[in-house]
Amino acid sequence: MYDWLIVGAGFAGSTLAERLASVRNERVLLIDRRPHIGGNAYDRYNDDGLLIHQYGPHIFHTNSQQIFDYLSRFTEWNFYEHRVLAQVDGMLVPIPINLDTINRLYDLTLTSDDLEKWFAARAEPVEEIRTSEDAVVSKVGRELYEKFFRGYTRKQWGLDPSELDKSVTSRVPTRTNQDDRYFGDEFQFMPKHGYTRMFERMVDHPNIHVMTQTDYRDIRDIVPHRRVIFTGPIDEFFDFRFGKLPYRSLGFKHITLDKAWYQPVGVVNFPQTEAYTRITEYKHLTGQEHPKTALTYEYPSAEGDPYYPIPKPENQELFKRYERLALATPNVWFVGRLATYRYYNMDQIVGQALATFRRIGDAVPLPSDQMVVEVIRSKASLAS
Ligand SMILES: Cc1cc2nc3c(=O)[nH]c(=O)nc-3n(C[C@H](O)[C@H](O)[C@H](O)COP(=O)(O)OP(=O)(O)OC[C@H]3O[C@@H](n4cnc5c(N)ncnc54)[C@H](O)[C@@H]3O)c2cc1C
């Protein structure tokens, strides 16, 4: 009998397995239908010995000391600040848009103060910022929106930015200085020996039994367990009874080139041309030294594994219906990006899992906790 059956061995499932096994000393069966642990953050060495990310580039960044400290128990880190260039009008320029982006693109010599005025002169007033288009044109105007955002968003989501929630493009800041880092977080690191090695150390515990290539449906009635933590798609858990939650998917083309370097930074975006959205060159991210180099091309698609929940109001409403069912389902905890139908970064998922662990502590006392509570109660009744 397992105390917990945890479905999905990504950040959500592995964090909870680790906590339940080591802190509460409970028996955990951790399953994943993929042939590996790590979820979307899974990385592996390819045939040439280059470390690549199977499901696209994953860069760790957080402002939370607590989350960084927690993961640091399972890995050492390499310092890495992510930088991205966009190919626009035949040039490679920094994205998020900054002072150098505008000066190079328009052959100008603006200062930061000038650039603020330059943006203000082009920004279009928008009464209420609702869509991804509103979020950009209200800050930098229509021309930059067309060059950097419109084509990229249409490729990535198969939708025009005017049809998408403002959250999609609001995530990308605009800067008037020369800061060309993609993220501004306090902690920006990559696991020194890769994500998969980190996950292996998280789940390496005598109380955790890991089974890959195992679907929840195939074992839920066979393996005895007391409670479930489900980190898969919430609509699938309920057999899609209200219909499917829409997702955007990706196709990945992984290649190796017989030369040391291909591009100047880890990721180059293609907002105007090409069928793919971006190219990643992993050696920039991993710090690996190797005479060859590995790249991944990302092709957005409507079909395939669920990667990005599509942020539209009607989809949120559909999710809320499933969420109500989830809340009424005893002994099952829904955690992670697929179960909560929302794009979260890795650190946010670890934070969500740690918060769930605390809630489990309140809701599911251990037999020994129960005994302590009983003793306190009986002492209290004796005293009264
Ligand atoms: C292309 C891409 C790039 C990203 N880049 C970054 C980045 O740079 N930085 C960052 O912080 N975040 C990034 N993210 C987000 C990151 O991937 C997620 O935050 C993280 O993977 C979520 O972890 P999770 O455990 O919730 O889900 P997942 O990692 O998806 O794990 C869920 C697991 O559940 C398994 N599963 C589902 N259903 C079942 C079932 N019925 N039975 C058994 N197993 C099941 C799946 O196989 C999967 O392995 C990126 C995401 C994508 C798609």
pLDDT tens digit sequence for 256-287: 999 999 999 999 999 999 999 999 999 999 99
* Top mutation candidate among 231, 342, 352 for ligand 1, by most atoms within 8 Å of CB: 231
Write a three-state SS string for the chain. CEEEEEECCCHHHHHHHHHHHHHCCCCEEEECCCCCCCHHHCEEECCCCCEEECCCCCCEEECCHHHHHHHHCCCCEEECCCCEEEEECCEEEEECCCHHHHHHHHCCCCCHHHHHHHHHHHCCCCCCCCEHHHHHHHHHCHHHHHHHHHHHHHHHHCCCHHHCECHHHHCCCCCCCCCCCCCCCCEEEEECCCHHHHHHHHHCCCCEEEECCCCHHHHCCCCCEEEEEECCCHHHHCCCCCCCCCEEEEEEEEEEECCCCCCCCCEEECCCCCCCCEEEEHHHHHCCCCCCEEEEEEEEECCCCCCEECCCHHHHHHHHHHHHHHHCCCCEEECCCCCCCCCCCHHHHHHHHHHHHHHHHHHCCCHHHHHHHHHHHHHHHHHC
Query: pLDDT band at 380, cuts 50/70/90?
Result: low
Report the pLDDT averaged over residues 347-360: 97
Q: How far apart are CA 228 and CA 347, in angstroms?
A: 22
End-to-end Cα distance, the chain = 40
Q: How far apart are CA 192 and CA 197, in angstroms?
A: 9
Given strand 332-334, what is the order of strands in its sheet?
208-211, 28-31, 2-7, 225-230, 332-334
Query: pLDDT band at 384, cuts 50/70/90?
Result: very low
Report the pLDDT averaged over residues 235-256: 97
| 41 CA from centroid of ligand 1 (Å) | 6
When mean pLDDT is compared across 105-109, 284-288, 371-375, the lowest value belongs to 371-375
pTM of the model: 0.94
- What's the pLDDT score for residue 321? 98
Among protein residues, the one whose CA lies closest to atom 7 of ligand 1: 58
Among protein residues, the one whose CA lies closest to atom 14 of ligand 1: 345
Does position 296 have pLDDT exceeding 60, yes or no? yes
| 185 CA from centroid of ligand 1 (Å) | 21
| 39 CA from centroid of ligand 1 (Å) | 5
| 337 CA from centroid of ligand 1 (Å) | 7
10 lines ligand 1 (CB under 6 A): yes
The encoded tokens of residue 176 equal 């008037």
Interval 29-49: pLDDT, tens: 999 999 999 999 999 999 999
The encoded tokens of residue 293 equal 């180099």
215 lines ligand 1 (CB under 6 A): yes
Query: pLDDT band at 78, cuts 50/70/90?
Result: very high
Query: pLDDT band at 369, cuts 50/70/90?
Result: low
Does position 378 have pLDDT exceeding 60, yes or no? no
* Top mutation candidate among 18, 40, 223 for ligand 1, by most atoms within 8 Å of CB: 40
Query: pLDDT band at 366, cuts 50/70/90?
Result: confident
Interval 177-224: pLDDT, tens: 999 999 999 999 999 999 999 999 999 999 999 999 999 999 999 999
Angle at 118 between CA 112 and CA 124, to 5 degrees: 130
Report the pLDDT averaged over residues 62-71: 98
| 10 CA from centroid of ligand 1 (Å) | 6
> What atom in ligand 1 is closest to the CA of residue 344?
19
Among protein residues, the one whose CA lies closest to atom 26 of ligand 1: 336
| 11 CA from centroid of ligand 1 (Å) | 7
Residues in a beta bridge with 188: 61
| 60 CA from centroid of ligand 1 (Å) | 13
Among protein residues, the one whose CA lies closest to atom 39 of ligand 1: 232
Report the pLDDT averaged over residues 65-71: 98
Mean pLDDT rounded to a whole number for the chain = 94
The share of the chain scoring above pLDDT 90, in percent, equals 90
Among protein residues, the one whose CA lies closest to atom 10 of ligand 1: 345
59 lines ligand 1 (CB under 6 A): yes
